[in-house]
Every structure is written in structure tokens, then in C-alpha cells.
Amino acid sequence: MKRDLTFEYVYAFDVEEVWFALTDAVTLSQWLMPNDIVPTPGARFQFHTKPAPGFDGIVHCEVLRVERPTLLSYSWRGGGVDTVVTFTLRQVAEGTLLRLEHTGFEGVRAVFVSFLLGSGWKSAHLREQLTHTLEARFARPPN
């Protein structure tokens, strides 16, 4: 099973306008999350969201690829996931087609371990997650 996510959305706006909304920290924070993005390869930045048990509310990112104004890719790490988010923009008749790929979930073993051993491993949230996992594991029809 492939564990990647892909989404597409068409905006009735120019590629440049959508690009700005992806790369300007203030604008990005208005539709995604508060952040300090700098769209330069190698730049590190963070998204800040509401903390949850097992997740400190910080997504750690590093800009991987920038092809202004059509491709932006950054790593997305936090709460036990170590993934990559890639936005691609393409001019279409109706405006701009945005394609979003969120990949890297298939590194299951490493992610599982970092999730288990990350800062949240003693947390109530992890306890809850593990309880679900164990319930599923032991859920067998009665003999």
C-alpha cells in the first residue's frame, strides 16, 4: 500500500498570486498556520499550531526545492511524522491548478520508532494511540 497523499485544487487566480500565498509568511499564515517561511533552498522555518498531547504544536520544516513560481517543496517534521510536502502550480484555462503531494509516510518503521521514542512517548496521547493499536491487534473473532 502506497502511503502518499495527493490533492488538486483549481484557483481562479494567476500562478503568481497563488505562489505569493504559498511563500509569503504573513499570507501563508492566513490560510495554513503561523510560520516564518523564507522560500530559499536550505532555509529552516517552523509552523506553529495548537499543541496536542504527544505533539508540541511545532512543525519543523526545511526548504528543499524552489522553482519560482511553479514548485515549492519542504520537509515536514513534527508529532512523529517525517515527511515532505510539495506544491506544484500550473496555469490552466480556469486559472491555476495547484497540486499538493504529501509524501514520505512509507518510512513506516523509522517513523514508528521516532514516534515511540520522540518527546511524546510518555504522553497520554501516545498511550491512547497505543491503546488503539493494541485493541486492533488483539481484535480477533472469538473462537
The residues of the shown chain that bind another protein, judged by CB under 8 A, are: 3, 5, 7, 9, 11-13, 17-18, 21, 27, 30-32, 79-81, 98, 100, 102, 105, 108-117, 121-122, 127, 129-140
* Preceding omega of 69 cis (within 30 degrees of 0): yes
E-strand spans in 13-135?
A: 44-48, 58-67, 71-78, 81-92, 95-103
| Residue closer to another protein (CB basis): 17 or 36 | 17
| Residue closer to another protein (CB basis): 70 or 114 | 114
**100 strand-pairing partners:** 7, 87
Instruction: Report CA-CA distances (Å) from 125 to 129, 131, 132.
Output: 6, 10, 11
Q: How far is the CB of 38 from another protein (least distance, A)?
A: 20
Q: How far is the CB of 125 from another protein (least distance, A)?
A: 11
Q: How far is the CB of 123 from another protein (least distance, A)?
A: 11
| Residue closer to another protein (CB basis): 8 or 67 | 8
d(C-alpha 59, C-alpha 48), whole Å: 6
Indicate the residue type of 136: A
| Residue closer to another protein (CB basis): 30 or 41 | 30
d(C-alpha 62, C-alpha 42), whole Å: 6
Q: How far is the CB of 41 from another protein (least distance, A)?
A: 23
